[in-house]
Amino acid sequence: MGEKKSQFEELLLTHLDGAYNVAFWLTESDADAQATVEKACVQASAEFLKSHEADLRTWLLKIVLRIAHRWIEERSKRSTVVPFVPPHDAAANPKPAGHISASTEGQAVHEGAGQDISQALNRLPVELREILVLHELEGCNYQQLASVLRISVEAVATRLSFARRCLRNELHGREVKGER
C-alpha cells in the first residue's frame, strides 16, 4: 500500500500546476487557489486508495472543481464579488522557452491584450470560465471535459462554443443575445 501511495504522489505532482491554474481562475485569488488544491490533494489521496479513474488528471480536476464550486457558493453568501486581477509578474506568468522579447511597444500591446482577455474572462459566469480554462489553458480534450464537468460530449461542444462567443463579445463590449 505504501508503494501505491508513493506512485500516486509522484503522479499527483505532475498535475498540480494544472489543478492550481484551474482553481486560481475560479477562486480568483492565490491563497484560495492554494487552499482549494490542498483540499483536493488531501481528498484525492484519501480516495485514491479506495478507487479512482484511469485518468488521474481528469479525476483530480473533478475534485478541484467540486471544491472550488463549494468555495464560490460560500463566498457568494458572505460578500460581494471582488474583480479578479491576474498576477503579471514573471514568476506567475513565465515566458515560454525560447521566447524572444518583442519591442517595448509591442510588449505593452501584448500585455494590454492579455489583461483585456483576463478581465473579459473574469466577467464570464463560472461555468463558461471553467470550460475555457480547462480547454484553452489546460488542454483538456472534449472527452476529458465531459468527464470533469459531468456533461455529454455534445454539451461540451455547445458550451465551449457559447463560452468562446461570450468571451469574444466581452472583449468587444457586446452583450450576447439568445440562448445557448
CATH code of 149's domain: 1.10.10.10
In which domain, by residue range, is 46 found?
1-81
Cell numbers for 167, please give them. 468571451
Tell me 102's DSSP state: -
Say how far apart CA 117 and CA 104 lie, in whole Å: 20
Q: What is the pTM of this model?
A: 0.66
Provide the pLDDT for residue 113. 55
The three cell numbers locating residue 111 = 500585455
- Give the pLDDT score at 134: 95
Q: In degrees to the nearest 10, what's the CA dihedral of 54, 56, 60, 62?
A: -30
Q: Is residue 95 part of a domain?
A: no
| Domain edge (last residue) among 49, 81, 113 | 81
Residue 93 lies in a domain: no
What is residue 140's predicted lDDT score, i.e. its pLDDT?
95
pLDDT in tens, the chain (180 residues): 567 677 778 878 889 999 999 999 999 899 999 999 999 999 888 887 666 566 788 888 999 999 999 998 888 777 654 444 444 443 444 333 333 333 444 344 335 556 788 889 989 999 999 999 999 999 999 999 999 999 999 999 999 999 999 999 999 886 555 544
Query: What pLDDT was estimated at residue 97?
Result: 36
Q: What pLDDT, on a 0 to 100 scale, did the predictor assign at position 107?
A: 40
Are both 123 and 158 inside the same structural domain? Answer: yes
Same domain, 169 and 114: yes
177 with 119, same domain: the answer is: yes
